[in-house]
């Protein structure tokens, strides 16, 4: 006889507890073989995934709006796919790099969301639908209050090169800015960078539209303001990434997101979270300075217009 056991870390079923049978009929053997085959077929589907783990720390960061929204979008995608998946947080306190390594091994969680990179797309399965509609690539400078008109006459990338930006030491944005020959000073945390800005260690601190207003409110003791004159834009997709051993899960999420795009529920959820930051950004009154992103993976669907926020007409030239 045998019984079927499912493992937490695999969608496979294993035949265990086997012991010899003396006078098993041919019919009985056939029935058992069919049951075993059915088990393998069932467990190979995404419906057999009892639990899908995501990194819990992503809900505990200061800018929680950026991480609550992807989880809500993930739930929406699963619902639109018509499948039942039990989402569970994996308690961890890892850096971004270590989280990506854990996704690769699949030991801690099955799905991760964040800014894409060639390495991350190689080590996991990217679902190439930008969760933020490209919003992570729209940056507005924080400046010291005394320098609030610093960029009043800035119109081109050449003008921006006269100033020094502050960015995180290991941020991908730092590499993107430097690849356009922009001067960048770095530090390890947002708090330190904000204090360095006030201390004139650099001229401006580019922040994402989705986070800049909250950051300003969280640091009222600092004499910093949101620059009213310019915005910086580059392609910076933000995806779901799935462990390579879970291709059915990636397919499920892709299908669910595509359905949500078609029926409008994707945009409804996105603007529920981000319409206010976009209203405050008021891009129509700003000079948009475009940067190239040399780190952009080659399979990025840049020509699928429905996946991105529209760029302003008449972008600044280099």
Q: How many CB atoms lie within 10 A of CB 91?
A: 10
298 in any annotated domain: no
Instruction: Please indicate, yes or no, whether residues 155 and 226 belong to a single structural domain of this protein.
Output: yes
Number of domains in the chain: 3
Instruction: Please indicate, yes or no, whether residues 65 and 38 belong to a single structural domain of this protein.
Output: no
Q: Report CA-CA distances (Å) from 99 to 22, 89, 169.
A: 51, 13, 18
Contacts of 160-165 spanning 24+ positions with Cβ under 8 A: 160/230, 160/232, 160/289, 163/203, 163/204, 164/202, 164/203, 164/204, 165/141, 165/202, 165/203, 165/204, 165/205, 165/206
pLDDT the model gives residue 50: 67
Instruction: Please indicate, yes or no, whether residues 227 and 140 belong to a single structural domain of this protein.
Output: yes
Instruction: Please indicate, yes or no, whether residues 181 and 115 belong to a single structural domain of this protein.
Output: no
Q: Are 183 and 165 in contact (CB under 8 A)?
A: yes
Q: Report CA-CA distances (Å) from 265 to 70, 79, 161, 278.
A: 14, 11, 41, 19
Instruction: Please indicate, yes or no, whether residues 123 and 146 belong to a single structural domain of this protein.
Output: no
pLDDT the model gives residue 311: 65
265 in any annotated domain: yes
pLDDT the model gives residue 25: 43
Q: First vs last Cα of the chain: how many Å apart?
A: 74
Instruction: Please indicate, yes or no, whether residues 122 and 193 belong to a single structural domain of this protein.
Output: no
CA distance 61 to 58: 6
299 in any annotated domain: no
64 in any annotated domain: yes
- Domain hosting 227: range is 135-233
CATH number of the domain within which 173 lies: 3.40.190.10
CA distance 202 to 301: 35
314 in any annotated domain: no
Q: Which residue has the tokens 């949101």?
A: 226
Q: Going residue by residue through the chain (318 aa), what tens digit of pLDDT does each one get?
A: 333 333 333 333 333 333 344 434 434 444 454 444 444 444 444 444 469 998 876 444 444 556 789 999 999 999 999 998 999 988 766 767 788 888 998 888 999 999 999 999 999 999 999 999 999 999 999 999 999 999 999 999 999 999 999 999 989 999 999 999 999 999 988 889 999 999 999 999 999 998 898 888 888 889 999 999 999 999 999 999 999 999 999 999 999 999 999 999 999 999 999 999 999 999 999 999 999 999 999 999 999 999 999 865 334 434
- Residue 237, judged by CB atoms within 10 A of its CB (0-12, 13-18, 19+), counts as buried
316 in any annotated domain: no
Instruction: Please indicate, yes or no, whether residues 255 and 223 belong to a single structural domain of this protein.
Output: no
Can you say whether the dihedral through the CA atoms of 27, 29, 31, 37 is positive or negative? negative
283 in any annotated domain: no
Instruction: Please indicate, yes or no, whether residues 126 and 247 belong to a single structural domain of this protein.
Output: yes
Instruction: Please indicate, yes or no, whether residues 117 and 261 belong to a single structural domain of this protein.
Output: yes
Instruction: Please indicate, yes or no, whether residues 110 and 67 belong to a single structural domain of this protein.
Output: yes
315 in any annotated domain: no
Q: How many CB atoms lie within 10 A of CB 284?
A: 8
Instruction: Please indicate, yes or no, whether residues 225 and 140 belong to a single structural domain of this protein.
Output: yes
Enter the DSSP assignment of 127. Answer: E
CA distance 148 to 279: 20
Last residue of a domain, one of 178, 200, 233: 233
Instruction: Please indicate, yes or no, whether residues 57 and 99 belong to a single structural domain of this protein.
Output: yes
């Amino acid at each position: 006889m045998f019984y079927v056991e499912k493992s937490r870390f695999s969608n496979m079923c294993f035949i265990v507890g086997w012991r010899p049978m003396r006078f098993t009929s041919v019919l009985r053997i056939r029935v058992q073989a069919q049951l075993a085959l059915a088990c393998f077929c069932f467990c190979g589907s995404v419906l057999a995934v009892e639990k899908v783990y995501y990194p819990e720390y992503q809900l505990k960061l200061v800018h929680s709006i950026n991480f609550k929204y992807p989880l809500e979008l993930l739930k929406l995608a699963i619902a639109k796919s018509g499948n039942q998946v039990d989402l569970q947080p994996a308690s961890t306190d890892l850096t971004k790099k270590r989280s990506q390594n854990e996704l690769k091994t699949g030991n801690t969680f099955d799905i991760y969301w964040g800014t894409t990179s060639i390495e991350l797309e190689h080590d996991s399965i990217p679902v190439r639908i930008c969760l933020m509609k490209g919003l992570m690539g729209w940056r507005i400078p924080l400046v010291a209050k005394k320098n609030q008109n610093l960029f009043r006459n800035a119109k081109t990338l050449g003008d921006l090169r006269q100033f020094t930006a502050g960015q995180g030491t290991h941020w991908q944005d730092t590499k993107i800015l430097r690849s356009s020959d922009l001067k960048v000073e770095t530090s390890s945390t947002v708090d330190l960078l904000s204090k360095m800005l006030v201390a004139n260690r650099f001229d401006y601190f580019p922040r994402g539209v989705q986070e800049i207003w909250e950051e300003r409110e969280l640091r009222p003791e600092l004499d910093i303001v949101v620059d009213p004159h310019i915005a910086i834009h580059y392609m910076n997709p933000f995806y779901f990434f799935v462990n390579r051993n879970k291709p059915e899960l990636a397919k499920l999420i892709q299908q669910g997101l595509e359905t949500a795009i078609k029926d409008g529920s994707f945009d409804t959820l996105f603007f529920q979270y981000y319409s206010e930051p976009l209203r405050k950004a008021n891009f129509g009154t700003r000079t948009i300075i475009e940067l190239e992103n040399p780190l952009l993976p080659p399979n990025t669907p840049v020509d699928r217009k429905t996946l991105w926020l529209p760029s302003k007409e008449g972008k600044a030239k280099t």
